[in-house]
């Protein structure tokens, strides 16, 4: 891979019903993608890019045209695009792979950039996870469950999914959310410490899912990057050719 920057974003939740101006939200993301087109070697979308997506064999959901167009522009310029499915966009199959050339990644994995190994995960498939999250993870990834879900008309499934997403975001207090985030971040760092003992060549860990924009350093000196979100933070990480990974806030005015 050429000596250009690698970019990471997660938890855009495009199309979410709780976002007031969804068109403006999409436009911010498109502006960001346009801003990196000249120096990006790869773009990693680390899950929950779309707030809801179910891709049928012959039909795909409406919307996201400008966003998909911006991804196609990057791909046409030779930028490698990886899309890690999260718990909101788990049902992404082959449409964007075939139409744009995106590599769809369904599990946490280690990727090599500029000779260094980086462990990337949405954050819901490694470490200690709540029981309900593990049950839902298994259900959402079940081919049988997907078959039954696909048999239900979208007029029922789309409103159900969007209402569930909104309820999950608004049903807990700010204190409960913060405590849950910190607990989950601790579990992911514990996972990284264990993983590093078996894979000492790992140069960094990158997670989404928590909507936490922060970088922590393990005892070994390896950095754990939590990517934040694009609901009210607009954060992304940049990995430079020298191996430095930094967290940034995007501003369209810059």
Judge whether 84 and 105 are in contact, CB under 8 Å.
yes
The pLDDT tens digits of the residues spanning 159-192 come to 777 777 766 666 666 777 788 889 999 999 999 9
- What is the total count of domains within the chain? 1
Instruction: Report whether pLDDT(105) > 80.
Output: yes
The SS3 of residue 226 is strand
Q: Which two structure tokens, joined as six digits, stand for 213?
A: 């924009």
Q: What is the CATH number of the domain that holds 205?
A: 3.60.21.10
pTM: 0.89
Instruction: Report whether pLDDT(110) > 90.
Output: yes
Instruction: Report whether pLDDT(249) > 90.
Output: yes
Mean pLDDT of 188-198: 96
- 254 within some domain: no
- 28 pLDDT band, cuts 50/70/90, is very high
Judge whether 142 and 105 are in contact, CB under 8 Å.
no
- 254 pLDDT band, cuts 50/70/90, is very low
- 113 within some domain: yes
Query: What residues contact residue 121 under an 8 Å CB cut-off, 6+ apart?
Result: 46, 84, 107, 108, 109, 205, 206, 207, 208
For 131, the domain range is: 5-249
**Cα 123 to Cα 13: distance, rounded to the nearest angstrom:** 15
- 66 within some domain: yes
65 vs 160 pLDDT, higher one: 65
Cα distances (Å, whole numbers) of residue 73 to 76, 180, 250: 5, 38, 20
**Cα 167 to Cα 163: distance, rounded to the nearest angstrom:** 6
- 151 within some domain: yes
């Amino acid at each position: 891979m050429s000596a250009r920057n690698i970019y990471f974003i997660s938890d855009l939740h495009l199309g979410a019903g709780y976002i007031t101006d969804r068109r403006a939200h999409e436009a911010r993301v498109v502006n960001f993608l346009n801003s990196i087109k000249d120096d990006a070697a790869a773009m990693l979308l680390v899950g929950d890019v779309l707030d809801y997506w179910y891709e049928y064999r012959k039909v795909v959901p409406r919307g996201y045209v400008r966003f998909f167009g911006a991804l196609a522009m990057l791909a046409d310029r030779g930028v490698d695009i990886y899309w890690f499915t999260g718990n909101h966009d788990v049902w992404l199959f082959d449409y964007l792979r075939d139409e744009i050339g995106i590599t769809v990644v369904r599990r946490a994995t280690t990727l090599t950039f500029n000779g260094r190994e980086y462990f990337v995960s949405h954050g819901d498939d490694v470490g200690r996870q709540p029981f309900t999250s593990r049950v839902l993870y298994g259900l959402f990834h079940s081919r049988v469950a997907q078959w039954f879900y696909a048999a239900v008309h979208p007029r029922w499934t789309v409103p159900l999914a969007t209402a569930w997403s909104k309820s999950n975001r608004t049903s807990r207090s700010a204190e409960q959310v913060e405590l849950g985030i910190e607990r989950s971040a601790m579990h992911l760092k514990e996972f990284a410490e264990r993983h590093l003992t078996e894979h000492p060549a790992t140069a960094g860990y990158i997670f989404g899912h928590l909507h936490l924009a922060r970088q922590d350093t393990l005892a070994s000196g390896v950095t754990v990057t939590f990517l934040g979100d694009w609901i009210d933070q607009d954060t992304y990480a940049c990995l430079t050719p020298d191996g430095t990974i930094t967290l940034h806030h995007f501003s369209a005015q810059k």
